[in-house]
């Protein structure tokens, strides 16, 4: 993204833990529902960022059209006292499509689709699994979405680890390796404002209040 003197401010929120997240399975553009832990994560994150929302006069609400992000956005909306209908669905915010890898763990991919897994390890940026997307393609659609975003107010974005990592990288102008390695856990959110990134982690008190044991997880690709 070409940085302007007034880039859009973004609050990045990842969906809560799903049933496949618990099992370490690549979910991509398939869906499983939030777990009980995932619901608690959504409540805690929404509670944690209330002050951020209050510091902006104008808000824009965005979400991926996948069910797990809609469920997350619905919980956040309830915590914030915001009508869910204010969230706009945008396919540009969907998770990376993993094609035939979806539903499998990485260890299963490595064991049963060895040639594909080795090709991925050789070029993590450009490789796309059969029927899926490369990280470069996710980055490109995130860039196209960000380029036309209005610069006024705060844009709250409920999405997925792959897409959020791309938005973070575009905003902060980090390199490909940093994008590929960025970890976005389910109990933190990220504020991108005035050219800087601020990770908003949950305090021990909030973790305890919502009966959360850790920061969440993601399948690292």
Would you please indicate which residues are annotated as catalytic (active-site) residues? 15, 95
Which residues touch 29 (CB under 8 Å, ≥6 apart)?
66, 94, 95, 97, 98, 102
- Alpha-carbon span 62 to 70, nearest angstrom: 10
Neighbours of 203 (CB within 10 A): 10
- Block residue for tokens 């959110």: 189
- Alpha-carbon span 114 to 177, nearest angstrom: 23
Write 175-181 long-range contacts (CB < 8 A, 24+): 176/125, 176/135, 179/135, 179/139, 180/124, 180/125, 180/135, 180/221
């Amino acid at each position: 993204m070409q940085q302007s003197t007034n880039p859009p401010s973004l609050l990045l929120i990842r969906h809560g833990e799903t049933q496949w997240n618990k099992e370490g399975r690549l979910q991509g553009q398939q869906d499983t529902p939030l777990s009980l832990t995932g619901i608690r994560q959504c409540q805690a994150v929404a509670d944690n960022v209330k002050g951020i929302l209050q510091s902006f006069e104008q808000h824009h609400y965005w979400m991926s059209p996948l069910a797990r992000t809609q469920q997350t956005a619905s919980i956040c909306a309830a915590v914030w006292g915001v009508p869910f209908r204010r969230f706009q669905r945008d396919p540009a915010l969907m998770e990376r499509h993993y094609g035939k890898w979806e539903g499998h763990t990485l260890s299963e991919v490595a064991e049963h689709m060895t040639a594909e897994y080795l090709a991925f390890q050789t070029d993590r940026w450009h490789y796309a699994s059969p029927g899926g997307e490369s990280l470069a393609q996710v980055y490109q659609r995130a860039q196209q979405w960000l380029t036309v975003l209005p610069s006024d107010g705060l844009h709250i974005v409920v999405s997925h680890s792959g897409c959020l990592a791309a938005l973070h990288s575009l905003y902060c102008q980090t390199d490909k390796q940093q994008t590929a390695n960025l970890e976005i856990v389910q109990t933190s959110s990220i504020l991108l404002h005035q050219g800087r990134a601020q990770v908003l982690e949950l305090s021990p008190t909030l973790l305890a209040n919502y009966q959360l044991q850790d920061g969440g997880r993601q399948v690292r690709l």
